[in-house]
C-alpha cells in the first residue's frame, strides 16, 4: 500500500542575499559586510590573511564571481548538503543546498539514496540548513536583502497528487508568519498548468506592509516532479538551472528591499514636512512682530538650510529607489524570458505575478509619493528666500542707522568745535594773556559748556531729522 505522506529525495535550496557594497559606504563598512557574510559559513571573525584572500577573489572583473571557485563547501558528515557562495555585482549570494541525511551506505546505493522518505523529513532538512548557517534567521544582519526557499522532490507513486504533497510540505516548514496555505499560495492549483522541467510549481509569499519590517518578506517555491521522471536527470538539470534561479531571486528581493527603503525615505520626508510647516509658521510670526531679532533670524536661516539639504537628499533617495526597482524589474522579466524554454519544458509564467504587483503598485506608489512631496521643497525655498530678504533689510536698516548716528555725531562735534572757536574769539585779550585769573577760567568753562550744548542740539537735531525722513520713506 502506498503512503501519501512520502516523497522521493526531499531537497531544500536556500538562496540568501546580503548587500556587499552599499552606496556611500566606507571600506571599513564593506569589510564589516564581508565578515557578516562569511560568518554564515565560517564561525568567527576572518583573519587578516583570510580577508586579503577574499578581497583578491572579489576584485575579479566579473558580475558573477564564484567565491570558492567551482568547488562547494560540504556539510559535515552525515549531513547531505553544501554551501555555494557567489558575488553578484554589489551583492553576496549564498546557495545552501541540503537533502535528507545519508549514511555512506545510502550514498553508494541509489535504491536507498532515492527511496521514498516521509514528508515531515523536510522539517529536519530545514533545521539542518538553519543550524549550519551561523547567524540568526529571525534577526538578520542589517545588510540582509532577502531569501528564497526553493523546495523540491519527486512523487513516490503515479497517482499521488502534487498539490497534496506540496501542502503537506508547506505545513512542515517554518517560514511564514501566521501561515495559511490558502492565503500564502499565489499560483493556481492546476495539474495542466505550465511547469518547470515537468514539475508542478507552487509559489507562496508574504510581502512586507508599507509600515512593516523587511523580515516580513517571505518567499517559498515548491516544485513537485512527477513519478515517471528519472530522479538523476531531474537533479542534474536543476543543477544547471541553479545559477539562473540565483539571479532571478536576487532581482526579486532587490525590488522588495528597495521598495522597503522607499517607505523609510517617505516616512522621513513626512517628518521633515512637519518641520517645514513649523519653520514657515515661525517666519510668519516673525514678519508680524515689531521687534526683529537678527541673531534669531540668522539661526532660523541656518536651520532651514539644513532642513532643505535633508529634504532634497531624501527626495533624491526616493527617486533612486524608484530607479533601482525599475532596473531590477526589467532584469527580472528578461531573466524569466531567457529561462523559458519549451523544448526543455521550462514554462513559468506564474512567476510573472510578482512583476505585475511591482508594475501596478510599487512603481506607481513611489511616483505618487515624489509628486506629492516635491512641492514642500518649493515652500522651504520660499521660506529661505524670505528669511534672507528680511536679514538683508535688517542689516541695511542697521547700517543706515549707524551711518545716521555717525553723521549726527560728526555734525555735533563739528558744531561744537566751531562754537568753541567763536566763543574763545570773544574773550578779552587781557584774560587770554594771563590765563591764570578767575575770569579766564569762567570764560573757558562757558565756552566748553556752550560748545557741548550747541553741539548736542545740532547733532540731535540732525539725527531726528534723518530718522524722521527714513521713517517717512518707509511709510509714504
| H or E element in which residue 145 lies | strand 144-155
Residue 446 has pLDDT above 70, yes or no: no
CA dist., res. 102 & res. 151, Å (int): 18
Report which of 315, 305, 302 is spatially closest to residue 269, judged by C-alpha positions: 315
pLDDT of amino acid 413: 47
pLDDT of amino acid 312: 87
Contact assessment for residue 247 and residue 335, using Cβ atoms and an 8 Å cutoff: yes
Residue 253 has pLDDT above 70, yes or no: yes
| H or E element in which residue 435 lies | none
CA dist., res. 59 & res. 39, Å (int): 20
Residue 121: which residues within 8 A CB-CB, separation 6 or more? 10, 100
User: What's the grid cell of residue 185?
Assistant: 499560495
pLDDT of amino acid 421: 55
Report which of 242, 229, 270 is spatially closest to residue 372, judged by C-alpha positions: 270
CA angle 50, 51, 57 (to 5 degrees): 90
Mean pLDDT is lowest, of 33-47, 185-199, 383-397, for 383-397
Residue with cell 546580503: 18
User: What's the grid cell of residue 280?
Assistant: 514657515
Residue with cell 541553479: 242
Percent helix / strand / coil, the chain, rounded to 5: 60, 15, 25
Residue 256 has pLDDT above 90, yes or no: yes
Share of the chain above pLDDT 90, in %: 37
Quick one: pLDDT band at residue 390, thresholds 50, 70, 90? low
Quick one: pLDDT band at residue 171, thresholds 50, 70, 90? very high
Contact assessment for residue 238 and residue 197, using Cβ atoms and an 8 Å cutoff: yes
Instruction: Look up the pTM and report it.
Output: 0.79
Task: Tell me the Ramachandran region of residue 287: left when phi exceeds 0, alpha when psi lies from -120 to 50, beta otherwise.
Answer: alpha
pLDDT: is 258 or 62 the higher one?
Answer: 258
| Model pLDDT for residues 281-324, shown as the tens digit of each residue | 776 666 555 555 667 667 777 777 777 788 889 999 999 999 99
Average of pLDDT values for 50-74?
A: 79
CA dist., res. 262 & res. 119, Å (int): 40
| DSSP tag of 351 | G
Contact assessment for residue 246 and residue 86, using Cβ atoms and an 8 Å cutoff: yes
- Backbone phi, then psi, for 150, in 5-degree steps? -105, 110
Strand, helix or coil for residue 308:
helix
Residue 118: which residues within 8 A CB-CB, separation 6 or more? 3, 5, 6
- Backbone phi, then psi, for 393, in 5-degree steps? -65, -45
pLDDT of amino acid 91: 94
Quick one: pLDDT band at residue 69, thresholds 50, 70, 90? confident
Mean pLDDT is lowest, of 87-101, 336-350, 460-474, for 460-474
CA dist., res. 215 & res. 434, Å (int): 105
Contact assessment for residue 246 and residue 288, using Cβ atoms and an 8 Å cutoff: no
| DSSP tag of 360 | I
Q: How many CB atoms lie within 10 A of CB 288?
A: 6
Q: How many CB atoms lie within 10 A of CB 106?
A: 17
Residue 408 has pLDDT above 50, yes or no: no
Number of H helices and number of E strands within the chain? 14, 9
CA dist., res. 454 & res. 192, Å (int): 113
- Backbone phi, then psi, for 196, in 5-degree steps? -110, 105
pLDDT of amino acid 149: 98
Share of the chain above pLDDT 70, in %: 69
Pairing mode, strands 218-225 and 200-206:
antiparallel
Quick one: pLDDT band at residue 39, thresholds 50, 70, 90? confident
Structural domain boundaries in the chain? 6-242, 260-382, 398-474
* Average pLDDT of the chain to the nearest whole number: 79
User: What's the grid cell of residue 237?
Assistant: 538539470
Question: E-assigned strands of 100-165?
Answer: 116-118, 144-155
Q: CA torsion, points 40, 204, 156, 75, in degrees to nearest 10?
A: 0
Output the CA torsion sign for 209, 210, 216, 217: positive
Amino acid at each position: 500500500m502506498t503512503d501519501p505522506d512520502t516523497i522521493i529525495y526531499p531537497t531544500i535550496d536556500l538562496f540568501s542575499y546580503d548587500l556587499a557594497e552599499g552606496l556611500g559606504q566606507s571600506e571599513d563598512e564593506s569589510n564589516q559586510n564581508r565578515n557578516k557574510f562569511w560568518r554564515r559559513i565560517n564561525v568567527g571573525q576572518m583573519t587578516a590573511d583570510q580577508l586579503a584572500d577574499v578581497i583578491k577573489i572579489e576584485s575579479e572583473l566579473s558580475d558573477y564571481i564564484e567565491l570558492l571557485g567551482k568547488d562547494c563547501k560540504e556539510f559535515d558528515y552525515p549531513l547531505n548538503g553544501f554551501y555555494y557562495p557567489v558575488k553578484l555585482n554589489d551583492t553576496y549570494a549564498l546557495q545552501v543546498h541540503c537533502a535528507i541525511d545519508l549514511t555512506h551506505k545510502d550514498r553508494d546505493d541509489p535504491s536507498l539514496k532515492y527511496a521514498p522518505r516521509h514528508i515531515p523529513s523536510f522539517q529536519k532538512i530545514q533545521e539542518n540548513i538553519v543550524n549550519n548557517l551561523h547567524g540568526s534567521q529571525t534577526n538578520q544582519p542589517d545588510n540582509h536583502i532577502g531569501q528564497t526557499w526553493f523546495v523540491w522532490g519527486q512523487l513516490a507513486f503515479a497517482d499521488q497528487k502534487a498539490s497534496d504533497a506540496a501542502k503537506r510540505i508547506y505545513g512542515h516548514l517554518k517560514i511564514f508568519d501566521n501561515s495559511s496555505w490558502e492565503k500564502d499560495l499565489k499560483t493556481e492549483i492546476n495539474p495542466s498548468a505550465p511547469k518547470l522541467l515537468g514539475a508542478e510549481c507552487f509559489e507562496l509569499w508574504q510581502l512586507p506592509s508599507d509600515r512593516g519590517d523587511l523580515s516580513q518578506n517571505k518567499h517559498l517555491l515548491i516544485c513537485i516532479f512527477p513519478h515517471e521522471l528519472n530522479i538523476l536527470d531531474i537533479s542534474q538539470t536543476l543543477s544547471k538551472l541553479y545559477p539562473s534561479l540565483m539571479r532571478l531571486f536576487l532581482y526579486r528581493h532587490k525590488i522588495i528591499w528597495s521598495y522597503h527603503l522607499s517607505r523609510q525615505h517617505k516616512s522621513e520626508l513626512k517628518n521633515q514636512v512637519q518641520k517645514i510647516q513649523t519653520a514657515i509658521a515661525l517666519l510668519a510670526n516673525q514678519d508680524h512682530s515689531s521687534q526683529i531679532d537678527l541673531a534669531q533670524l540668522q539661526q532660523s536661516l541656518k536651520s532651514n538650510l539644513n532642513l532643505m539639504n535633508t529634504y532634497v537628499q531624501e527626495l533624491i533617495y526616493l527617486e533612486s529607489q524608484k530607479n533601482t526597482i525599475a532596473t531590477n524589474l526589467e532584469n527580472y522579466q528578461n531573466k524569466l524570458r531567457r529561462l523559458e524554454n519549451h523544448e526543455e519544458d521550462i514554462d513559468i509564467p506564474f512567476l510573472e505575478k510578482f512583476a505585475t504587483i511591482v508594475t501596478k503598485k510599487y512603481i506607481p506608489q513611489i511616483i505618487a509619493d515624489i509628486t506629492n512631496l516635491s512641492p514642500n521643497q518649493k515652500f522651504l525655498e520660499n521660506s529661505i528666500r524670505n528669511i534672507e530678504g528680511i536679514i538683508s533689510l535688517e542689516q541695511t536698516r542697521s547700517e543706515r542707522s549707524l551711518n545716521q548716528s555717525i553723521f549726527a555725531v560728526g555734525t555735533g562735534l563739528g558744531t561744537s568745535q566751531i562754537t568753541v572757536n567763536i566763543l574763545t574769539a570773544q574773550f578779552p585779550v587781557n584774560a587770554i594773556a594771563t590765563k591764570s585769573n578767575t575770569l579766564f577760567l569762567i570764560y573757558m568753562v562757558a565756552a566748553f559748556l556752550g560748545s557741548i550744548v550747541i553741539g548736542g542740539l545740532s547733532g540731535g537735531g540732525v539725527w531726528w531729522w534723518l530718522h524722521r525722513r527714513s521713517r517717512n520713506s518707509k511709510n509714504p
